[in-house]
């Protein structure tokens, strides 16, 4: 058993605050007392182990809860709409191409394409993380994630549908306009791939998820504009086509 009269000295020795005289006295004692030596060694090991404890990662849901509450309190604005835009120069080049392309046959797309293919505003707001409806105390983190996955699927379905329409009518576009559109679509595809990878790496990251939805929304918008453009060019409506380009 360690000697109780040396215990305070042992603790201060471990703290590194023991004065030189008492330190020398303690070291002399430790040399001949196995129990006190073991006590000193144990306490030193405890201190060393404690000081080397690393950070513990918080649960994944913690950030979603914080983001949800920030949004509930109105202290976060949705930057996704204004974050990334397709290059204006690319659209300007396409506008120049319109003059050459106009004059083709009339083609009218079914009305309501936009409304039926893209997720509605209400659906989007439910999907966009963290939306007003994802109050942490009202829904579990898991249910919010499920909603996000469902919204993503909805976007992807809309994109597939719009791509089919655009591809089927692509011949109406002049080669330069078609190339510009392909370039813009490639940019959005790259953004979708990047943000998908970010979401995969950090499934609970609201920023990553917003970036993905941003990219998906952008692609839907681009495809919708492409179809409108094809439509106006089929009608021979130069002014309408220019309006589509200028709006984008």
Residues near other proteins (CB under 8 A): 1-2, 4, 7-8, 11-12, 14-15, 17, 35, 38-39, 42-43, 45-47, 49-51, 53-59, 62-63, 65-67, 69-71, 73, 75-77, 79, 205-207, 210-211
Residue 126 vs 224, nearer CB to other proteins? 126
| Smallest gap from residue 121 Cβ to other proteins (A) | 20
| Smallest gap from residue 23 Cβ to other proteins (A) | 16
The set of residues, in sequence order, having a beta carbon less than 8 Å from that of 240 and lying 6+ positions away, is 232
Residue with structure tokens 């060694």? 41
Give dist(CA 137, CA 139) in Å, integer. 6
| Smallest gap from residue 167 Cβ to other proteins (A) | 34
| Smallest gap from residue 60 Cβ to other proteins (A) | 11
Phi first, then psi, for residue 165 (nearest 5°) are -65, -45
Residue 15 vs 189, nearer CB to other proteins? 15
Query: Taking Cα atoms as reference points, which of 245, 243, 240, 238 lies closest to residue 100?
Result: 238
Residue 65 vs 237, nearer CB to other proteins? 65
Residue 47 vs 183, nearer CB to other proteins? 47
Give dist(CA 15, CA 85) in Å, integer. 59
Helix (H, G, I), strand (E, B) or coil at 74: coil
Residue 8 vs 182, nearer CB to other proteins? 8
Residue 61 vs 104, nearer CB to other proteins? 61
| Smallest gap from residue 154 Cβ to other proteins (A) | 22
The set of residues, in sequence order, having a beta carbon less than 8 Å from that of 22 and lying 6+ positions away, is 9, 12
| Smallest gap from residue 187 Cβ to other proteins (A) | 20
Give dist(CA 172, CA 167) in Å, integer. 10
Contact 211, 219 (CB under 8 A): no
Helix (H, G, I), strand (E, B) or coil at 120: coil
């Amino acid at each position: 058993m360690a000697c109780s009269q040396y215990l305070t000295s042992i603790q201060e020795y471990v703290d590194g605050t023991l004065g030189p005289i008492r330190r020398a006295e303690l070291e002399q004692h430790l040399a001949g007392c196995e129990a006190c030596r073991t006590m000193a060694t144990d306490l030193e090991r405890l201190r060393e182990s404690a000081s080397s404890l690393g950070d513990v990662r918080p649960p994944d849901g913690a950030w979603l809860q914080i983001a949800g509450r920030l949004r509930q309190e109105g202290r976060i604005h949705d930057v996704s709409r204004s974050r990334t835009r397709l290059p204006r120069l690319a659209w300007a080049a396409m506008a120049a191409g319109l003059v050459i392309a106009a004059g083709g046959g009339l083609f009218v797309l079914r009305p309501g394409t936009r409304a039926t293919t893209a997720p509605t505003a209400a659906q989007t707001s439910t999907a966009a993380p963290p939306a007003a409806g994802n109050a942490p105390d009202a829904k579990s983190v898991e249910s919010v994630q499920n909603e996000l996955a469902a919204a993503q699927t909805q976007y992807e379905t809309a994109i597939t549908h719009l791509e089919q329409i655009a591809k089927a009518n692509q011949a109406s576009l002049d080669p330069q306009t078609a190339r510009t559109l392909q370039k813009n679509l490639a940019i959005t595809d790259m953004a979708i791939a990047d943000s998908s990878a970010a979401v995969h790496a950090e499934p609970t990251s609201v920023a990553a998820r917003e970036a993905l939805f941003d990219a998906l929304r952008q692609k839907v918008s681009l495809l919708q504009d492409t179809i409108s453009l094809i439509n106006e060019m089929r009608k021979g409506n130069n002014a309408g086509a220019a309006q589509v380009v200028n709006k984008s």
